[in-house]
Amino acid sequence: MTPVLSVRNLSRSFGAIRAVDDVSFDLAPGELLALIGPNGAGKSTCFNMLMGQLRPSAGKVLLKGQEITGMRPRRIWRMGVGRTFQITATYASMTVVENVQMALISHYRRIYAPLPYATRLYRDEAMDLLETVGMEDQADRHCAVLAYGDLKRLELATALAHDPFLLLMDEPTAGMAPRERIGLMQLTADILNSKGISVLFTEHDMDVVFAHAHRVMVLNRGQLIANGPVEEIRADPRVQEVYLGGGTVFAAQAAGAHDA
C-alpha cells in the first residue's frame, strides 16, 4: 500500500546548525506515529517542513506518492492534511459551535456567505462533530470561558471539520494535567482509529506516547536514531542514553516540562 506520507533525506540547516539532518521515514495508512526527542532535536523544524511553513535545504516530502516539497501550507491543507497546534487556535469571541461552523465554512469554501445565513450554515454538521468530541452540551458557550482541556477538544473538532486523511499534531496535550492528557489522547486515538485518519504527533509525555503510538521515531540532533514499535523503542539503549539520561528527563517530562 502507498504510504500516506513519505519523507526522503529531508534536511534543513540554519547557518551552521543542521536542525534536521537526512531524515527519511514512511507513515502507513491508519498509523499513529510519534516523533519524540529532546529539546532542540529538530521536531518542530521537521513538522514545519511537512506542512509547507519552512523550505527544506534538501530532500523530498511525498503525500500518497505525490511530491509536495515546497508547496504552500494552504495548498497542502487543501490536499487533506490537517494540523493542530501547541498553542490552541480558536476564536475566543465566538461560541463553540460557531468555531466549528467557521471551520466547515472554510472547508466548503463558503467564505462569502452573508452573515445571518452563516449563523445557520452547517450547524447540524458542526453539532455532529461536537458530539464526536463529547462537547455538544457546550455548543453555545463562548470559547473565552472554556477550560483548557475543552479548548483542546474543540480544536480537534475543528481539525476534523476539514475531513483530513492525515493529521499532524504538535504536542496535542501540551499544558494539560497528566490525567487529562491520557484522556484527551485516548479520545483522539479512538476517533482517528475509527475514521482511519493517519497521525504524526510530537509529544512530551512518555506515558501518552507509549500508551497510544503504534510506532515511535526518535530524533536527536537532527538525526533519526531509532524508529520502531513502542516496546523496541522503550528497550533501545541508544534511546535510553539520549533520551532518558538515567531517567531524569523522563521524570521531568512526565511532570510537564515544556518544549521550546
User: Can you give the binding site for ligand ADP, defined by CB under 6 A?
Assistant: 14, 17, 19, 37, 39-45, 259-260
Shortest distance in whole angstroms from residue 206 CB to ligand ADP: 15
Q: Which residues partner with 33 through β-bridges?
A: 200, 215
Residues 4-43 touching Mg ion, rule: CB under 5 A, are: 43
| Identity of the residue, 54 or 161, whose beta carbon is nearer to Mg ion in the bound complex | 54
Shortest distance in whole angstroms from residue 258 CB to ligand ADP: 10
Name the H helices within the chain.
43-50, 73-78, 96-107, 115-118, 123-132, 148-161, 178-195, 206-212, 230-235, 237-239, 248-254
Task: Please check whether residue 19 is in contact with residue 222, taking contact to mean a CB–CB distance below 8 angstroms.
Answer: yes
Among 44, 101, 198, 220, binds Mg ion (CB under 5 A): 44
Shortest distance in whole angstroms from residue 203 CB to Mg ion: 11
Q: Which does 111 bind (CB under 5 to 8 A by kind): Mg ion, ligand ADP, none?
A: none
| Residue 253 touching Mg ion (CB under 5 A) | no
Give CB contacts under 8 A, 24+ apart, made by 73-81. 76/51, 76/52, 77/51, 77/162, 80/162, 80/163, 80/164, 80/165, 80/166, 81/50, 81/51, 81/164, 81/165, 81/166, 81/167, 81/168
Q: Which does 37 bind (CB under 5 to 8 A by kind): Mg ion, ligand ADP, none?
A: ligand ADP
Q: Which does 148 bind (CB under 5 to 8 A by kind): Mg ion, ligand ADP, none?
A: none
| Residue 205 touching Mg ion (CB under 5 A) | no
Q: Which does 143 bind (CB under 5 to 8 A by kind): Mg ion, ligand ADP, none?
A: none
| Identity of the residue, 39 or 119, whose beta carbon is nearer to ligand ADP in the bound complex | 39
Task: Please check whether residue 35 is in contact with residue 217, taking contact to mean a CB–CB distance below 8 angstroms.
Answer: yes
Shortest distance in whole angstroms from residue 183 CB to ligand ADP: 25
| Residue 88 touching Mg ion (CB under 5 A) | no
Written as nine digits, the cell of 77 is 491543507
Alpha-carbon dihedral angle through residues 69, 72, 76, 81, given to the nearest 10 degrees: 100
Shortest distance in whole angstroms from residue 242 CB to ligand ADP: 12
Pairwise CA distance, residues 113 & 4, whole Å: 34
Indicate the pairing of strand 58-63 with strand 223-228: unpaired
Shortest distance in whole angstroms from residue 40 CB to Mg ion: 8
Task: Please check whether residue 120 is in contact with residue 164, taking contact to mean a CB–CB distance below 8 angstroms.
Answer: no
Written as nine digits, the cell of 80 is 487533506
**# chain residues binding Mg ion, by CB under 5 A:** 3
Shortest distance in whole angstroms from residue 102 CB to ligand ADP: 29
| Identity of the residue, 45 or 99, whose beta carbon is nearer to ligand ADP in the bound complex | 45
Written as nine digits, the cell of 42 is 529538530
| Residue 69 touching Mg ion (CB under 5 A) | no
Applying CB under 5 A, the residues found at the interface with Mg ion are: 43-44, 259
